[in-house]
Homo-oligomer: A and B are copies of this chain.
Amino acid sequence: MSPADDPDLARALPVLAAVREAAPLVHCLTATVSMQLVADGLLAAGARPMMTETVVEAPVVTTVADALLINLGTLSTDAMDGIPATVAVAREQQRPWVLDPTAIGIAPVRTPLARRLIEQRPTAVRGNASEILALVGEAGGGRGADSTAAAESAAGAAAEVARLTGGAVAVSDAVDLVLDASREARLARGSALLPRVTGTGCLLGALTAACTAVWEDPFEAALAATTWMALAGERAASRATGPGSFRMHLLDALDEIGRRP
């Protein structure tokens, strides 16, 4: 569909165009398992990834990045050490940064770490309903990176997180929810194949960081990233014969959305 026929795309398009124009450098401390999809997805979207997580290098190299992504999935010892110092530098340098509290809940290090990071006022937070509920101390039935709770059940928790951070919060689900202190939007787009590929949620966190790098308003940036991923998922699903081919088409589609009908 062209923007004229798709109001969701029309709204997101200026942000997508700004990412493609600026090619922001996004420094990612992210889950090992999805590092490659995150990096390939950022490149497909027109942004540029950088991935270094040790405490001796990550804080230094983040000074040249345009945005920072902190994803807590498969949290290594290097990342545990590197994350707080790197966030501190991003804050000092007034870079936008995104928190993706992957798989928090019962995990004993990442869960309190995520709550402390909220105090560092991330520009945007992206997670599934279980993770957003766990951020404010509510149990949401999460096991691993999966969510057993619907986005709507985390609407109150998301609003509470937005109040604490002053930024945007995106809850990913069949109907995505994006909100900040004063606005909210719901998006019933995307594909059931998205959760059948490892790291699509992590990639959405990274795209959100890329959008915050080029767009002043965190709410519109987070909504544009969510829309970008959902529309790419729809296009990929129309071409895919299963989760393997969907993953490949998803990267092609991120490159195409808003540029080729």
Contacts and interface: CB of A to CB of B under 8 A. Distances in A.
Interface of A: 25, 27, 31-37, 39-40, 43-44, 48-54, 56-57, 60-61, 63-65, 73-78, 80, 103, 106-110, 143-146, 195-199, 240-245, 247-253, 255-256
- Give me the 7 closest cross-chain CB pairs, A-B, nearest first: A244-B251, A242-B252, A50-B144, A39-B198, A244-B248, A244-B252, A33-B35
B251 A64 contact: no
B250 A44 contact: no
Contacts of A77: 54, 77-78
Contact of A252 (B43, B106, B241, B250): B241
A43 B248 contact: no
Given A32-B32, A243-B44, A253-B242, A107 B52 contact: yes
Contact of A196 (B43, B60, B110, B144): B43
A51 B33 contact: yes
A212 to B, nearest CB: 18
Contacts of A60: 106-108
B242 A64 contact: no
Nearest to A250: B244
Nearest to A248: B244
A82 to B, nearest CB: 10
Nearest to A37: B36
Contact of A61 (B57, B107, B248): B107
